[in-house]
């Protein structure tokens, strides 16, 4: 991506599925960087097909998938004309694992292709895709699917993406790639593997050439950025510097974690990034975390940033996939001054602090959380552990406690863990229905949630992504925008 086209506003990737293609496309059409979430796209895609693919967009994109037979097989398995019957559970998608089946590979690659294809369809604007480093098994085929659709930027946070830049280089040359699993306490040194040529050849296809997207690392500390610059196995094209007020996952505070009276991690002045270090690195950077105000965009630019990355303000706009009833609950809370976001140190099975909007009827409600029987049927936060026999197993601290203990996990690691997979997919209206109940949703947003009040309309109608962008760019010098 040429420097002249660098965006001022990046609409942050928001999983699961909140920043789906219509949102990213709307942002991109305004000359800024729209980012689709790549997290759990296989499940999101399979469930949308089972809901009848309203509008036919997924089928339209699938028909352009460059490997013959894949579209037909996926449609055969998941598409339900007219959608599921009321109360019928979604058909399961395979759990992420070290060696994906042929079907799983096709689903992952096609789902990522379709999301990027639709976001980019019919215009020249830029589209990025966001992944979490801590969600490992789907990463390589997902990257390849997004690249097949011409994704412009890959953004990755929640972990240390040292080998991702080189992976993008190799995929762009059609070469096989590997990803070492991060050690998340399971004592494994396994590597994930993906060979694009093998994928194509075994299906009788010659794959089209793919371009190397830019790579932006999402970091909270300058020390991680300097380390990445030294150790990354390829080019880093940008940094998103995300502070602890941002929605979704946050980095842990430095040093031992101390909690306040609400049992939230205490962040202090040491838990920020030294921008002077980033200015010296000479790589474009964007600031993220409570930046949804034109003054804060201008401040960021004055501090040497290219612009800002914003999530929360986009999460509740018309084009986001967040359920309409949840958007309205949030609007009501914001309007009445009751919007409350808690930084929960335990909720995420990834072991990072996670922002949770305190709303009734969601998993933020302690009684509802305790009443929910634990299930692990999506499995994105499972991490690998070494089994006694030398093979690899997978476990998640939010899975049923007995299963976790049987898999060698520690009881204390299960406390307060919420099944983000099921709860976040429920927040975009794709929650599983089981035993007569719908999975309860969970909503994440940044500490600046109350600032969404700037955009909320008196008639309760949703504001648009375009309104947010117009507002954020107010008074920003034209030389800094691509509008």
Binding residues vs ligand FMN (CB under 6 A): 12-15, 18, 37, 39, 130, 132, 157, 218, 242, 245-248, 288-290, 292, 309-312, 315, 444-446, 448
Query: Shortest Cβ distance from residue 151 to ligand FMN (Å)?
Result: 15
Closest CB to ligand FMN among residues 71, 305: 305
Q: Are 120 and 24 in contact (CB under 8 A)?
A: no
Cα–Cα nearest to 451, from 291, 324, 321 = 291
Query: Closest approach of Cβ 240 to ligand FMN, in Å?
Result: 6
When the beta carbons of 49 and 288 are compared against ligand FMN, the nearer one is 288
**Is 289 or 409 the residue whose CB approaches ligand FMN more closely?**
289
Work out the burial of residue 452: count CB atoms within 10 Å of its CB; fewer than 13 is exposed, 13-18 middle, 19 or more buried: buried
Report the distance separating Cα 428 and Cα 414, nearest Å: 26
Residue 50 or residue 320: which is nearer to ligand FMN going by CB?
320
Report the nearest approach of ligand FMN to the CB of residue 316 (Å). 9
Question: Whose Cβ is closer to ligand FMN: residue 179's or residue 423's?
Answer: 423
Residue number, 19 or 188, with CB nearest to ligand FMN: 19
Neighbouring-strand partners of residue 240: 218, 286
Nearer to ligand FMN, 165 or 409 (CB): 165
Nearest to ligand FMN of 67, 143 (CB atom)? 143
Q: How far is the CB of 263 from ligand FMN (least distance, A)?
A: 21
Contact assessment for residue 335 and residue 456, using Cβ atoms and an 8 Å cutoff: yes
Q: Can you spell out the DSSP letters for 91-142? A: PPPPPP-SS--HHHHHHHHHHHHHHHHHHHTTS---EEEEEETT--TTHHHH
> Could you give the CA distance from residue 117 to residue 58 in angstroms, rounded to a whole number?
10
Torsion of the alpha carbons at 212, 183, 97 and 219, rounded to the nearest 10: -40
Phi-psi map region of 38: left, alpha, beta (phi>0 left; psi -120 to 50 alpha):
alpha
Angle at which helix 465-472 crosses helix 21-29, to 10 degrees, equals 40
**Which C-beta is closer to ligand FMN: that of 114 or that of 246?**
246
As measured in angstroms, the least distance from the Cβ of 279 to ligand FMN is: 21
Please, which residue, 137 or 409, has the CB nearer to ligand FMN?
137
| CA–CA gap between residue 456 and residue 467 (Å, rounded) | 11
Minimum distance from residue 256 beta carbon to ligand FMN (Å): 25
Q: How crowded is residue 89: how many other Cβ atoms within 10 Å of its Cβ?
A: 12
Task: Report in angstroms how near the CB of residue 308 gets to ligand FMN at its nearest.
Answer: 8
Between the alpha carbon of residue 133 and those of residues 26, 295, 420, the distances in Å are: 26, 32, 16
**Structural contact between residues 118 and 25, judged by C-beta atoms closer than 8 angstroms:** yes
Number of other CB atoms surrounding residue 263 within 10 Å: 12
Least CB distance to ligand FMN at residue 317 (A): 11
341 DSSP assignment: E
Instruction: Write the DSSP string, 267-331.
Output: P-GGGS--HHHHHHHTS-EEEESS--SHHHHHHHHHTT-SEEEE-HHHHTSTTS-S-HHHHHHHH
From the CB of 71, what's the least distance to ligand FMN, in Å? 27
CB proximity list for 43: less than 8 A, separation 6 or greater: 16, 93, 378, 421, 425, 430
Residues 6+ apart with CB under 8 A from 268: 253
CB of 321 to ligand FMN, least distance (A): 10
Residue 14 vs 228, nearer CB to ligand FMN: 14
We find the least distance from the C-beta atom of residue 306 to ligand FMN, in angstroms, to be 15
């Amino acid at each position: 991506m040429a420097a002249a086209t660098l965006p001022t506003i990046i609409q942050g990737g928001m999983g699961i599925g909140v920043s789906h293609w219509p949102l990213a496309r709307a942002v991109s059409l305004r000359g800024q960087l729209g980012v689709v979430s790549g997290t759990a796209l296989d499940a999101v895609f399979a469930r949308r097909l089972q809901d009848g693919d309203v509008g036919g967009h997924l089928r339209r994109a699938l028909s352009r998938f460059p490997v013959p037979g894949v579209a037909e097989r996926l449609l055969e398995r998941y598409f339900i004309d007219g959608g599921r019957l009321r109360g019928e559970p979604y058909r399961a998608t395979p759990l992420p694992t070290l060696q994906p089946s042929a079907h799983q590979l096709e689903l992952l690659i096609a789902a990522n292709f379709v999301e990027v294809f639709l976001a980019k369809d019919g215009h020249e604007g830029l589209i990025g895709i966001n992944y979490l480093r801590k969600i490992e098994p789907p990463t390589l085929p997902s990257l390849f699917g997004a690249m097949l659709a011409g994704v412009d930027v890959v953004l990755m946070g929640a972990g240390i993406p040292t080998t991702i830049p080189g992976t993008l280089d190799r995929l762009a040359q059609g070469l096989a790639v590997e990803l070492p699993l991060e050690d998340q306490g399971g004592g494994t040194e396994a590597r994930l593997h993906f060979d694009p040529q093998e994928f194509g050849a075994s299906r009788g296809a010659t794959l089209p050439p793919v371009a190397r997207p830019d790579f932006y690392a999402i970091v909270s500390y300058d020390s991680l950025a300097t380390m990445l610059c030294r150790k990354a196995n390829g080019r880093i094209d940008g940094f998103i510097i995300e502070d602890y007020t941002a929605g979704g996952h946050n980095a842990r505070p430095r040093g031992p974690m101390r909690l306040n009276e609400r049992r939230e991690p205490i962040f202090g002045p040491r838990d920020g990034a030294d921008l002077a270090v980033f200015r010296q690195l000479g790589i474009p950077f964007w600031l993220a975390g409570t930046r949804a105000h034109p003054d804060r965009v201008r401040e960021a630019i004055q501090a040497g940033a290219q612009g800002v990355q914003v999530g929360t303000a986009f999460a509740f706009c018309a084009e986001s996939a967040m359920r309409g009833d949840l958007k309205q609950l949030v609007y009501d809370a914001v309007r009445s001054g009751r919007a409350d976001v808690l930084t929960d140190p335990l909720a995420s099975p990834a072991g990072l602090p996670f922002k949770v909007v305190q709303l009734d009827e969601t998993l933020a409600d302690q009684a509802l959380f305790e009443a929910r029987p634990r299930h692990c049927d999506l499995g994105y936060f499972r991490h690998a552990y070494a089994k006694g026999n030398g093979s690899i197993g997978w476990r998640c601290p939010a899975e049923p406690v007995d299963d976790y203990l049987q898999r060698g996990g520690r009881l204390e690691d299960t406390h307060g863990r919420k099944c983000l997979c099921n709860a976040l997919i429920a927040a975009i209206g794709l929650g599983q229905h089981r035993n007569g109940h719908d999975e309860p949703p969970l909503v994440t947003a940044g500490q600046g949630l109350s600032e969404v009040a700037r955009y909320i309309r008196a008639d309760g109608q949703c504001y648009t992504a375009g309104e947010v962008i117009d507002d954020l760019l107010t008074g920003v010098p034209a030389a800094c925008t691509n509008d």
